[in-house]
Structure 1
Amino acid sequence: MVATYVASFLHLLFSYTLLRIVPVQHLFLFDLVAFPVSLFLLSRDIVVDWYLPTTAAKAHHTPGDVGKSDAAPRRRLSDKALSENAKKSKAAEAGEAESMAASDSGCGKNSVHLHADKGLSFGKIFLLVLNLVSFAMVLDFVYRPVLYPGDELVVFRPGYVSHRSAKLHIRFPEPDRQLEVRYKELSGGDKVEFAANTPWETHTIHQALTNETDYTATLLISNLSPSTKYLALFRLKLHGTMQIKTAPAPGTPMKYRFATGSCIKPNFPYTPTTSPDVFGFANMLEHSDGLDMVMFLGDFIYSDLPFYFGPEPEDYRRLYRQVYMTKSAQRLLNKVPMLHVYDDHEIVNNWHEQDKPPMGAAMRAYHEYNGNPNPDPVEAHHAYYNFTVGNIAFYAWDTRRQCWAAAQKQHFMQWLHDVNHTAAVKFVVSSVPVTAGWTNIDSDHDTWRGYMTERAEILNVTQYVPNLYYLSGDRHEMAAVVLPSGNVEFSTSPVSQFTFPLIGEFKDGEFGEQTLHYRRAGHVKFGILDVDTETNPDAPRVTYSLYTADEHGAKRPAWTYESNGVPWR
């Protein structure tokens, strides 16, 4: 009996931890062992409690052989013998009465035990049902990408939008059909009103959408006007409609608002539902009316959590489709352009093997869904890029393929030189933190703490670049840190994933750093940055606001930091 309860407890513990605390693969494998053991022991005990006591009770009341005739001849007895036999007979009758009373008492005790065993078995039946339900939820959570692969998913969303062009990301799983996108300039503020005498423009997608690219394509619309709203229509689907707004001309002072964060897993913490969602996207969607962009900092999928299904492109594509299928992702991504960098879980945890398999298959799926709609990379087949919105400049590193390779290093240093006195505010985007504050067991190879020489080389240059900020994610925690260079880093995650409330360590003051704010707990955390280079062009202002579902339901900031810029011209 003890073994039964121990096995059931372990199975329920593994299931709960996997579904609600941290969805790691080891827990799933442990659960696969604990569940059949628990199922066997509970089933055995229920059978024993119900069947064996009933059989024993029936056996106890089975009538024996009585009244058999004595074949021995009768003997004549003397009066004295008869008298003695009479006394013995009375004594025997008294003993038999006591024996029957004892027997009746024993039957009563057996009946009590029988009822007690059945009462105990009802508890085990409930425990059995609980084990079955919890394991069914585990299977739903783990195998949903396989059971519901999203083959019919349709995507129509904006990618990178510059002052003269816009990238539109499309997935349409019907081959051999000519697709067209129509777009037209809007006027009248937030209302959908068409500009007078402006004809519809039509762009035909000439490339065939096939399973070679998972029926995806990125369409580039050019010759747009700066600071202008457009309505785009995907003709073959009624819901394929979106508005896009082009950026101001380069160098134009502006007010710009964008969200940042990393790490999402649909339906975590797990909730039984037929329509899983990305809870952090649902919270972010409440602020989407004022957002110009979302800069997503990596771990958009988790290829190895809670189970690694394989190294083929389709194994990765299913996970992207699972995210894009969620209702909050569809609404947010249709409304706000989202740009990306990738991190380790787009490949496999703590990836640092550069171009070895399965990176080729993983990057193929990444580019089909998230990479191609980004600004064009500096080098073909790589993922680092830069762009400018008005007089705000961005540089996105590729930290997994080449943490600080020569080509990327040279281009980044040239970019710093170019934007030093031409952009009022600069943002450097890294999938992993630049701060050395995290001292976890994997920090030496999964953050810039493990590359202190290269980090020092970077910071020695950026300390002379005015109004430069770092953005990062990855750690499933949040920290705002003043780096030794004087630049501020905002590291924000997870947008919608697990966190470790009791594990991990962040040290203040490491290598001359200063921690402004640190927050560990919270399954939903994202930042929103308001950049104002318009009110005072010579001294731009940057405001970072942290939103977490644990405080105010992510409707109001949990923490805010205001940074007054310095002259930059």
Structure 2
Amino acid sequence: MTRHTTRRILTQGKIKSEASLSMDDIDKRLGSYHDPKACILDNECGVDSLSSRNGVPLRANAPLRTSPHAQDCYRVRHFSRDVLHLSSTSLWIVPIKYQCSPRCFSHFIWDLFAKPRVSKLHGITAQHSCLFRCLDFVHRAHVLHPLESLTFSRTGFVDSTSARIVFRNPGAQDPLQLIYTNPARPATKGIDVALLTEDSDYTGTIELTGLNPGTRYVYNISGGLAGSFTTSAESLKKFTVISTSCQKPFYPYSPLSHSLAIPGLSHLARYVESAPPEFILFLGDFIYSDLPTQIEPLTTKYYRQLYRQIYASPSWTRTLRDLPWIHIFDDHEFINDYHPGIAGGEDIYTSAMSPFEDYQGAANPPRSDSDRRKKYTQFRRGDASFFVLDTRTYRATPPAKADGGSGRRSMLGTEQLQELLVWITNEKGWKVIVSGVPMTRNWSEGSDEMDSWAGYLEERQVIFEALWRVGGGVIISGDRHEHATVKFSPPHPHPASHTIIEFSTSPLSFFYQPFLREYVSHDETIFNLPQGASKFGQLTFDSSDEKTWIVGFELVVDGEKVWHYNHSWKRM
């Protein structure tokens, strides 16, 4: 039988492009490659004639994937072997396995290449669209929103008799005045504010003292800024705290979205509207200096712009700005996996810390002494005592992964660790440790394992043993873009009631990793959930029962309540 048509010879080893060949011509051309596995592709038959020379259909024994190759050429890979090589002048099939329905594979080829000009146009259009979207995601906010003239105010740390207010007003020509009052009592008080300067990026923090417990106050700052706050009750037996970390504006990306929108803030705003928490703990990565890419040198000017962009987000509501916020930093306030030993570490720290202090740190709870380099702090609320760690400033260089985290290295530094141990021993009631990175090792055995407490296991053990001796404790952490509730049960002879429990929750608004995850159960996992681009947790501390105190935890994912857990603590 002789059939003439436009064909491409497909052999194992030879690459040819031919036209108007008879079957006899093909047999001659095959020569030494006349192998039962050698394939021919007949375009006249709509590519459905993909088969071996002896008529046995071929089957791929695993899914195929395409990847771009040089010179307008594509390869389909089967594991490590090329099985299909396509270009404008040649087609090459290295035969795979027998026993196939050829239609599936041939339709795959046909869909991609039956109309090469149209497909190429579509490909170019798709490539340009993808490039535009990437550039838009990375650069739009930076180009369109430098926000030199931004004005805002927000509430920082509040207790029963004092409150801290952060504000920015670059247009003020004269010293400002803050006036505050209790609406139930018309008398007002005023505080003069020093002239704001470029040295602080025109920000200021005011501390109001001598306030009444459990009282709502409103304030006005000359220049048009206004807000309110509520002082803490004097004796609290039940209160709530929200914890989260990690946010990136304009994520998930949509070309129609505002480039400063933060969807997680919108979820949080709706959640707190009806029942405001006592305060919000934001555990770091409030800004991202280097994701998705670092677009400017790491200067103070660059860090300031990142803070302004966050505070200019349309996702903020007045309710969120009026709630008390406590902020700590993690690595992305500096650069990914920051520690002092990193290349240029001291310069990076200096450039980043001034903006952090102006926008965040000055409104945090008062420090234990006048050392301004100390960013860790402690405070009480009801029957709970909180120690907010600084896990970046003093940490030793992380170990090599092969060390497995063993060795006498410190994340906290000698002085901070000693203050923490004294606090654990002396404080009464709940001991709540706030850490930017998780204490659990369960997120481990991956590329960044040693950046967490998994790289400082001996120091972690010292902290755990101190907590087990006094009845256990609560750890609140973020960083990993997942949620996990984990228990650290005490060894003998401590009773089981001395368990340490950790609630680690993030991100408020950024990516999560449903695939290629790194989770190994070194510690006892109560619950783990990676899914969700927005996650925060609400903790309820209830000490109304004299014998059994309860910490309740509610996990909110993408605006929905998805999990609740109660941890009871028998009082010593």
TM-score (norm 1): 0.72
What's the offset of the Cα at 1:175? Answer: 4.3
Aligned partner of 1:241 in structure 2 is 226
Give, as a single letter, the amino acid of the residue that structure 2 aligns with 1:213.
S
Question: RMSD of the alignment, in Å?
Answer: 2.3
Alpha-carbon spacing, 1:547–1:225, altered in 2? closer, same or farther (3 Å): same
Shift of 1:495: 1.2
2:205 counterpart (218, 222, 225): 218
Structure-1 residue corresponding to 2:391: 399
Deviations 1:129-174 (A, max 9, x none): 4433332222221113421112121121000001111000011111
Distance (whole Å) between structure 2 residues aligned to residue 541 and residue 484 of structure 1: 17
Give the whole-Å Cα distance in 1 for the aligned partners of 2:470 and 2:373: 29
Q: Structure 2 CA distance, aligned partners of 1:504 and 1:410? A: 35
Contact 1:183 1:201 in 2 (8 A): yes
Contact 2:435–2:476 (CA under 8 A) maintained in structure 1 = yes
1:263–1:301 CA contact under 8 A, matched in 2 = yes
SS for the counterpart of 2:456 is helix
Gaps of 5+ in 2: 1-67, 73-87, 89-112, 395-410, 491-498
Listed as ranges, the matches of 1:24-39 within 5 Å are none
Q: Is the 8 A contact 1:160 1:337 kept in 2?
A: yes
Alpha-carbon offset, residue 393 of structure 1: 1.3
| Residue 307 in structure 1 maps to residue 307 in structure 2 | no
Q: Provide the rounded CA distance (Å) in 2 between the counterparts of 1:310 and 1:152.
A: 22
Look up the match of 1:144.
Answer: 140
Partner of 1:287: 271
Alpha-carbon contact 2:150-2:312 (below 8 Å) kept = yes
Q: Among residues 331, 339, 344, which one is paired with 1:344 in the alignment?
A: 331
Aligned length: 430
Counterpart residue identity of residue 530, structure 1: T
Q: Is the 8 A contact 2:227 2:318 kept in 1?
A: no
User: Given the alignment, which residue of 425, 435, 438 partners 1:433?
Assistant: 438
Taking the aligned partners of 1:121 and 1:442, their CA distance within structure 2 comes to 43
Three-state SS of the structure 2 residue aligned to 1:287 is helix
1:511-526 alignment to 2 at 5 Å?
513-526=523-536
Q: Which has the higher strand share?
A: 2
The answer to whether the 8 A contact 1:258-1:530 is kept is yes
Q: Which residue of 2 aligns with 1:540?
A: 549
Distance 2:538 2:220 in 1: 29
Q: Which has the higher helix share?
A: 1
- Is 2:218 aligned against 1:228? no
Q: Give the alignment of 1:119-138 within 5 angstroms.
A: 121=117, 124-138=120-134
For 2:226, give the aligned amino acid: T
- Alpha-carbon distance in structure 2 between the residues aligned to 1:446 and 1:332: 35
2: CA distance, partners of 1:313 / 1:344: 16
Please give the secondary structure, in 1, of the residue aligned with 2:338.
coil
> Are the aligned partners of 1:281 and 1:332 in contact in 2 as well (CA < 8 Å)?
no
Larger Rg computed on CA atoms? 1
Matching residue of 2:164: 167
Compared CA separation, residues 273 and 332, structure 1 to 2 (3 A) = farther
Deviation track 1:283-333 (CA, whole Å, cap 9, x = no partner) reads: 111111322211011111111111212121011111111111112235454
2:178–2:221 Cα contact (<8 Å) kept: yes
Structure 1, residues 240-296: CA drift from partner, whole Å, max 9, x if none?
A: 3222111123xx233211211111111111111352311111111111132221101
- Partner of residue 362 from structure 1, selected from 337, 341, 352: 352
Q: SS of 1:352's equivalent?
A: coil
What amino acid maps onto 2:420 in structure 1?
F
Match of 1:209 in 2: 196
In the aligned structure 2, how far is the partner of 1:253 from the partner of 1:173?
A: 39
Q: 1 CA distance for matches of 2:510 and 2:354?
A: 24
Counterpart of 1:316 (choices 292, 297, 303) is 303
Task: Give me the whole-angstrom Cα distance separating, in 1, the residues matched to 2:356 and 2:571.
Answer: 39
Contact 1:247 1:390 in 2 (8 A): no
Q: 1: CA distance between counterparts of 2:264 and 2:513?
A: 17
- Give the 3 Å change call, closer, same or farther, for CA 501–532 of structure 1 in structure 2: same
Aligned partner of 1:113 in structure 2 is none
Q: Does 1:500 align with 2:536?
A: no
Q: Look up the match of 2:423.
A: 415
Aligned partners of 1:496 and 1:417: how far apart in 2? 37
**1:441–1:505 Cα change, 3 Å:** closer
Instruction: Note the residue ranges of structure 1 that are not aligned, 5 or more in a row.
Output: 1-33, 39-48, 50-116, 186-193
Q: 1: CA distance between counterparts of 2:469 and 2:209?
A: 36
**Aligned pair 1:381/2:373, yes or no?**
yes
SS in 2 for 1:357: helix
How far apart, CA to CA, are the structure 2 residues paired with 1:288 and 1:127? 46
